[in-house]
Structure 1
Amino acid sequence: MPTPSAPGRATAASRPLPAGRFVTRADDGRVLTMRVGETRELRTRDALAPEPTVDGEAVEAIGIDNVQAGSGRGWELRAVRPGRSRIAVAGAEPFAVTIEVSPVR
C-alpha cells in the first residue's frame, strides 16, 4: 500500500506551478511541475544570498537585476527540457525545491 504524502508536501502530479506564482522558502522540500518553455520567479528575502545551485538540466536559473534594494534577490527559473532539477538557495533563509519539467503538449 502506498505511503501517503506528508502534510504540506505535494507530489509532482498534484502541485503544478500556476502562472505568476513565485517559488519561495514556503515551497521548501516540495516537488513542483512546469512545462518546457515556462518561466517562474525564484525569490528569497535574503539580499546577500549567493546564486542558487541547480542539479539537473531541466531548469536554468537566471539572475534578475531589477529587484529593489532591501527586498531580497530573485532569479528567473526557465524550464528548458523535460526532466528533473533540484534548486537550492543558501544564505540566511536556505531552502530547496525540485522541479519536474514535462514536454509542451
Structure 2
Amino acid sequence: MTARRTGAPMPESIRHTLRAPQNPARAVECPHCGAAAHRPCRLRSTGRLLAQPHPQRISAWAQASACCPECQVEPTTPCHDEGRARGSVHARRYQEAEETAA
C-alpha cells in the first residue's frame, strides 16, 4: 500500500474562505442543545443533526457579536426594555449582527 502524499498545508485564512458556507451563529455554543462552536445543532431527544441552528443559538450569537441600536448596549450585554431584562434580543440587534458578519 502506498502512502498518500499531501501537498503543502493550506493556510487557515484560505481554508476558512473555501469552507462550505454555514450560518454565522454556529460560531458560538448552542445554549439549547449544547452543540459546540462550529458544530451543527442537534435534537436533544434523538441526536439528529439540524440544518439550521436553534433560535436560542442565533440570539446568543447576536448578543455576543453586535451592539444593540435599540437599547444601546455593548456586545455580550443582554438587551433590556427600560431596565427590565428581555428574554431575547431586539430585532435590530439581529440586523446589526448580520451586517457585521457579512
Q: TM-score, normalised by structure 2?
A: 0.27
Larger relative CO (CA 8 A, sep 6+): 1 or 2? 1
Structure with bigger strand share is 1
Q: What TM-score, normalized by structure 1, do the two folds share?
A: 0.27
Task: Identify, as 1 or 2, the structure richer in helix.
Answer: 2
